[in-house]
Structure formats: C-alpha cells, structure tokens
C-alpha cells in the first residue's frame, strides 16, 4: 500500500493552509507551481473595481515550510534552508517569499528571501545549509493589504536595491563607465552597505566564468572591479579581497585590477588589511610583492607609478625570497603598462641574487 510520512503530511497541509490564506484575502489570487523547483505557490495581486477582479501582473513566488513545533527565540522563528536553494531563490527577478506555516495553529509568518540576503551574501558560501530567522512581526494575515503589495509592486527599498543590482549586472557585462558610475551613485544614495552585495555579485560572476578568461573578458571585468574598489574599497575586508583575486594556486588578472583600484583609492585601508602576509601564506609570492610595492609607494597611484617605475625601489622580501624588477626590464614595463596595467610588473619579477660576501 502507498505510504505517506508525517513530514509529507505536514508539508501538504501547510501548502493547503498557505494557499487558503491568499485565496481568502480580497486582493490576491494564488496558484500552485507544480513544475518549479523549490517554489510551491505563486500569488498575484489583483485590482477589484465594481465587483470585477483584474489581474495586475504583480507576482510573488512562495516556498512553503510546514512545522508542528516552530523553533522560537529572539523574537523570531528559525528554519534551516539549503544553501543551493537560497542561491536559486536569489536569482529570481520576482520576489520569493518563504512562508513558515504552523499547521497546528494555522499561523503563517513570512520572509522575503532576496531582501534578507542583501548584505548577507556570506551565507551563500561555505556550509551546505543556513539557519534563517523569520521575524515574529512578519505575520502574513496582517500584510495582505500593505507590505505584500509593496513587495509585489517593487516599491520597497529592497526592491530599489535589487533594481540597481540588476542595472549593475547589465552595465558590467559590457563595460559602460558612465552607466556604472550612475549605478554606483544610486547605491551610495540608497546606502545600507548595498555596495557589498554588488561587489560580491560581481566577484561571483567572475568566478563563474572560470579561471581562464580571455584577455578581452579579463580586461572588461577588471574595469568593473577597478570602479568598485576605487569607490567602495574602504568598506571591504581582507577575505573579500582574497576572494576577488585568488583562483586556487594562482590569481585572476581582473582581480589584480581590482587590487590596483583598492590601492589607488584607499591605500591606508589596504595597508591595514595585512594583505602581503595573507598572500605569502597562500604562496602567492608575486601578490605579496605587489602589496609591499604599492604600500612602499602609497603616495602614488598606479599611473604615477608607471611614469616613475624606472626610479622606484622594487626589491621586497617575500616567502620565496627577495623579488624585484631588474633595471633592464623597466623600459619594457613602461612600454607594456598601458595595455597590461600592473600585471606587467608581476610578469617581470625575478629573484634577487644575494650580494656576494667580500
């Protein structure tokens, strides 16, 4: 005989309760989503005029989690979600709401997942699951008239942030300096560390492209990262910088451009992060050299260094020994820098021979 587990029964009952709640609301309709991975229901806001319902096209996707005994503490309910699912939900352009349904009391609390993840992108890295807090005040039955319509219509601050993120993705796919500057200004206006979400999104996009980008693609991404780090670099920590630059046992040329922007825009902050030591630990000795080189000439931006490279000190101690740019290669660096930027310095490094004892 076919069997059904208690958890399956709880899930089915929770979905039934959630759909019923939307169907009872005067300004919503609700449909099942049988073919969407991780999406149980879809709700659409409706306009009612003279007893006639008109569809608005304003949607929310719903993931339903049923429970017999919710975990409650610190004025919220906790539920564990798979990281892969959170990544999936975060890619939607339509709002995805988690509905936590107490099947005993019929109480439903909700959380807008994409908004929740803004500034919390670290959740998406590392562990296979994350414990998510659903605020106690997010009661579904009290939100049908105001908060949920605002989410569906895209008029909340979270909606604004996600709209700017999408603009940034579009403009960064084919580098548009003016458009990116305008999007960055919008981020500054909206505040709340939204730039971190944009930065992490750009890095994730770079990582997904793989370790072997073409020179053209690398240059395009590098321009985006330079823009970001010159504007927001003082708010990034060492781990975010390493994620931008490091690719296994080597480094990304686009990430190096981002490091250039950090030292150009915020040399004091860059120095405070101890990046040279971190790169030495990873045996990325060229990058350790680069950080020491930039910090030794912190008063100069990348272009000024290029103009003076023939006369600057380039010998610095790394885990591999003292690396330097030989004087015979300085003219080559000067000639190639306009196309290769600071990567040309790393490609010209040599181990300094010890001075013979007399």
Residue 8 has pLDDT above 90, yes or no: no
Residue 61 has pLDDT above 70, yes or no: yes
* Tens digit of each residue's pLDDT (9 = 90 or more) over 118-155: 878 778 777 899 999 999 999 999 999 999 999 999 88
Band (162; pLDDT cuts 50, 70, 90): confident
H-helix or E-strand containing 109?
strand 108-112
Asked if 77 and 100 count as a contact pair (C-beta separation under 8 A), the reply is: yes
**52-63 average pLDDT score:** 90
Asked if 296 and 316 count as a contact pair (C-beta separation under 8 A), the reply is: yes
* Tens digit of each residue's pLDDT (9 = 90 or more) over 170-202: 776 666 777 777 777 777 777 655 566 666 666
Query: What local confidence, expressed as pLDDT, does residue 93 receive?
Result: 85
Strand runs (DSSP E) across 228-345, as ranges?
A: 246-247, 250-251, 316-318, 321-324
Strand 108-112 relative to strand 321-324: parallel, antiparallel, unpaired? unpaired
State the Cα–Cα distance between residues 103 and 133, nearest whole angstrom.
18
Query: What local confidence, expressed as pLDDT, does residue 164 receive?
Result: 78
Query: What local confidence, expressed as pLDDT, does residue 78 receive?
Result: 95
* Tens digit of each residue's pLDDT (9 = 90 or more) over 215-227: 666 777 788 888 8
- Residues in Cβ contact with 348 at an 8 Å cutoff, skipping those fewer than 6 apart: 325, 326, 329, 332, 333
- Cα within 13 Å of Cα(261), Cβ side: 24
- Residues in Cβ contact with 78 at an 8 Å cutoff, skipping those fewer than 6 apart: 70, 71, 72, 131, 132, 133, 134
Question: Which of 206-210's residues contact partners 24+ apart within 8 Å by CB, and which partners?
Answer: 206/244, 206/252, 206/254, 206/255, 207/243, 207/247
Q: What mean pLDDT value characterizes the chain?
A: 86
* Tens digit of each residue's pLDDT (9 = 90 or more) over 275-322: 999 999 999 999 999 999 999 999 999 999 999 999 999 999 999 999
Residue 356 has pLDDT above 60, yes or no: no
Query: What local confidence, expressed as pLDDT, does residue 98 receive?
Result: 96
**37-65 average pLDDT score:** 88
Query: What local confidence, expressed as pLDDT, does residue 345 receive?
Result: 97
Query: What local confidence, expressed as pLDDT, does residue 95 receive?
Result: 94
SS3 state at 60: strand
* Residue 246 backbone phi and psi in degrees, to 5: -80, 135
Nearest to 228 by CA among 197, 250, 207: 197
* Tens digit of each residue's pLDDT (9 = 90 or more) over 248-288: 889 988 899 999 999 999 999 999 999 999 999 999 999 99
State the Cα–Cα distance between residues 114 and 97, nearest whole angstrom.
8
pTM for the full model?
A: 0.68
Asked if 294 and 270 count as a contact pair (C-beta separation under 8 A), the reply is: yes
């Amino acid at each position: 005989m076919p069997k059904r587990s208690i958890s399956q029964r709880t899930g089915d009952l929770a979905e039934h309760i959630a759909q019923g709640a939307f169907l009872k609301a005067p300004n919503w309709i609700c449909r099942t989503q049988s073919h969407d991975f991780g999406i149980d229901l879809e709700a659409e806001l409706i306009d009612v005029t003279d007893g006639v319902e008109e569809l608005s096209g304003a949607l929310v996707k719903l993931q339903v989690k049923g429970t017999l005994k919710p975990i409650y503490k610190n004025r919220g309910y906790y539920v564990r979600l798979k990281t892969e699912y959170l990544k999936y939900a975060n890619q939607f352009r339509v709002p995805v709401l988690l509905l936590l349904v107490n099947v005993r009391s019929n109480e439903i609390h909700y959380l807008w997942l994409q908004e929740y993840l803004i500034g919390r992108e670290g959740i998406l890295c590392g562990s296979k699951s994350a414990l998510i807090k659903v605020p106690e005040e997010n009661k579904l039955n009290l939100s049908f008239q105001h908060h949920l319509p605002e989410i569906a219509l895209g008029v909340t601050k979270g909606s604004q942030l996600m709209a700017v993120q999408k603009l940034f993705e579009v403009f960064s796919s084919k580098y548009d300096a003016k458009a990116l500057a305008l999007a960055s200004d919008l981020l500054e206006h909206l505040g709340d560390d939204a730039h971190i979400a944009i930065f992490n999104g750009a890095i994730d996009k770079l990582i997904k492209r793989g370790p072997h980008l073409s020179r053209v693609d690398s240059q395009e991404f590098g321009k985006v990262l330079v823009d970001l780090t010159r504007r927001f670099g003082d708010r990034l920590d060492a781990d975010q910088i390493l994620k931008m630059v490091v690719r296994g046992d080597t480094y990304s040329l686009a990430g190096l451009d981002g490091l250039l922007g950090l030292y150009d825009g915020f040399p004091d902050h860059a120095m405070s992060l101890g990046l040279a030591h971190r790169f030495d630990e990873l045996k990325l000795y060229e990058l350790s050299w680069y950080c020491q080189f930039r910090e030794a000439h912190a008063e100069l931006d990348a272009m000024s260094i290029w103009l003076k490279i023939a006369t600057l000190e380039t010998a610095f101690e790394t885990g591999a020994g003292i690396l330097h740019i030989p004087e015979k290669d300085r003219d080559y660096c000067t000639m190639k820098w306009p196309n290769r930027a600071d990567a040309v310095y790393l490609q010209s490094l040599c181990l300094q021979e010890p001075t013979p004892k007399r």
